[in-house]
Amino acid sequence: MNLFDLSGEVAVVIGATGALGGAMAKALGSAGAAVAVVGRNAERGQACVQAVQAGGGRAAFFTADALVREDLVRIEREITAAFGTPSILVNAAGGNDPKATVTADLRFEDIGIDAWRGNFDLNLVGGVLLPCQVFGPGLCARGRGSVINIASVSAHIPLSRVVSYSASKAAVLSLTQFLAREWAPSGVRVNSLTPGFFPAEQNRRLLFQEDGSPTPRAQSILGHTPMGRFGKADELAGATIFLASAKAAGFVTGSDVRVDGGFLSQTI
Ligand SMILES: NC(=O)c1ccc[n+]([C@@H]2O[C@H](COP(=O)([O-])OP(=O)(O)OC[C@H]3O[C@@H](n4cnc5c(N)ncnc54)[C@H](OP(=O)(O)O)[C@@H]3O)[C@@H](O)[C@H]2O)c1
């Protein structure tokens, strides 16, 4: 038995137009799942489809704003018509609004409520809640399935400055465990994956100066990462396939898998 064979599975990857979601989509496709690449940016969506196909997988792009319930309901119909009932849901849409980040010019007490709510809307509501509400009943009716939510090291210990991002990602861990308990009787497993620091669009300005050299914050992150480097998006492949596979992870639910180069194990 190949523990990591996903043939016959249908994977929905929301945020596959991004760095981490794209790598996860490629991984699922290479393991045999048909992959629904979901996001708002069609150009990056098509590039992801081509990358999955180049790796020997099947994929198609479906446009949706994760914050718009009707979009998610529509794509669930479209994906089911194209590939069959989804059995794997990856929630990889998310990011941080710089307007909700503490800086030399913006104190914690002056963060605007709209920017604060924006991070919670993106990372918790569109990032996990709505996709789970829309795709969850189908997964449960099928009697088996795997949901993978993307948390963050800042969900475990809040990073400096990105206060609402950290709080929203901590809520992702809580919702993951709630749903793991809720859906276990229906055979649906719900886990989270905690990436360390991986260069991507949403954190580019925090990590790199205009000339491409690391910012002081990036240097501090690398100094706090026992492996002394950033992650590469493809390094999420193994954890993604493991969590997605009922054969490999059939008794794994409510857990969090860290792929962080040891970041959360470092104190002094
Ligand atoms: N990179 C890291 O170091 C790191 C570390 C920990 C956690 N994470 C988390 O990993 C996830 C992926 O981030 P990334 O690093 O890969 O960043 P990224 O390359 O900027 O990707 C972000 C993704 O979120 C999608 N997205 C944003 N708003 C959306 C919306 N309203 N509807 C649908 N999709 C939306 C974007 O899709 P469109 O542009 O197509 O809308 C894009 O695919 C996020 O949850 C992030 O917080 C990243």
Is the per-residue pLDDT at 54 higher than 90? yes
- What percentage of the chain exceeds 70 in pLDDT? 100
Residue 185 placed within a domain: yes
CATH number at residue 73: 3.40.50.720
Residue 206 has a pLDDT of: 84
138 ligand 1 Cβ < 6 A: no
**Mean per-residue pLDDT of the chain:** 97
- Catalytic annotation, residues: 165
- Measured in Å, residue 22 CA sits from the centre of ligand 1 at 10
Q: In this predicted model, what pLDDT tens digit does every residue of 149-164 receive, in sequence order?
A: 999 999 999 999 999 9
Residue 71 placed within a domain: yes
The structure tokens listed for 84 are: 């069959």
| DSSP one-letter code for 12 | E
Is the per-residue pLDDT at 248 higher than 90? yes
What mean pLDDT comes out for the span 52-60? 97
Beta strands in 70-228 (DSSP E): 88-91, 145-150, 188-195
| 24 vs 241: CA distance, rounded Å | 8
Residue 219 placed within a domain: no
Residue 85 has a pLDDT of: 96
Side chain identity at residue 256, one-letter code? D
Is the per-residue pLDDT at 182 higher than 90? yes
Residue 188 has a pLDDT of: 98
- Comparing 78 with 98, the larger pLDDT belongs to 78
Residue position matching structure tokens 């007490």: 109
Residue 32 has a pLDDT of: 98
Torsion of CA 6, 143, 36, 154, to 10 degrees: -90
Residue 217 placed within a domain: no
100 ligand 1 Cβ < 6 A: no
What mean pLDDT comes out for the span 71-82? 98
**Structural contact between residues 198 and 231, judged by C-beta atoms closer than 8 angstroms:** yes
Residue 240 placed within a domain: yes
What lies within 8 Å, CB to CB, of 83 at 6+ separation is: 10, 34, 36, 58, 60
Q: Which of 20, 75, 153 to mutate to test the pocket of ligand 1 (most atoms within 8 A of CB)?
A: 20
Half-sphere CA count of 13, side-chain side, radius 13 A: 32
Residue 61 has a pLDDT of: 98
The 10 Å Cβ neighbour count of residue 252 is 16
Residue 202 has a pLDDT of: 79
- Measured in Å, residue 8 CA sits from the centre of ligand 1 at 27
Residue of the CA atom closest to atom 44 of ligand 1: 94
66 ligand 1 Cβ < 6 A: yes
| DSSP one-letter code for 208 | B
- Measured in Å, residue 18 CA sits from the centre of ligand 1 at 5
Is the per-residue pLDDT at 1 higher than 90? no
Neighbour-count burial of 230, counting CB atoms closer than 10 A to its CB (0-12 exposed, 13-18 middle, 19+ buried): buried
Residue 207 placed within a domain: no
Residue 5 placed within a domain: no
260: domain range? 10-202+232-265
Q: In this predicted model, what pLDDT tens digit does every residue of 189-202 receive, in sequence order?
A: 999 999 999 998 87
Host H or E run for residue 35: strand 34-39
| 28 vs 42: CA distance, rounded Å | 20
Side chain identity at residue 192, one-letter code? S
* C-alpha dihedral sign at 160, 164, 170, 172: negative
Q: In this predicted model, what pLDDT tens digit does every residue of 102-125 receive, in sequence order?
A: 999 999 999 999 999 999 999 999
Q: In this predicted model, what pLDDT tens digit does every residue of 201-235 receive, in sequence order?
A: 878 888 999 999 999 999 999 999 999 999 999 99
In ligand 1, the atom with minimum distance to the C-alpha of 66 is: 32
- Measured in Å, residue 157 CA sits from the centre of ligand 1 at 20
- Measured in Å, residue 123 CA sits from the centre of ligand 1 at 9
Q: Which of 202, 207, 257 to mutate to test the pocket of ligand 1 (most atoms within 8 A of CB)?
A: 202
In ligand 1, the atom with minimum distance to the C-alpha of 199 is: 1
| 197 vs 228: CA distance, rounded Å | 11
Residue 49 placed within a domain: yes
* Structural domain total, the chain: 1
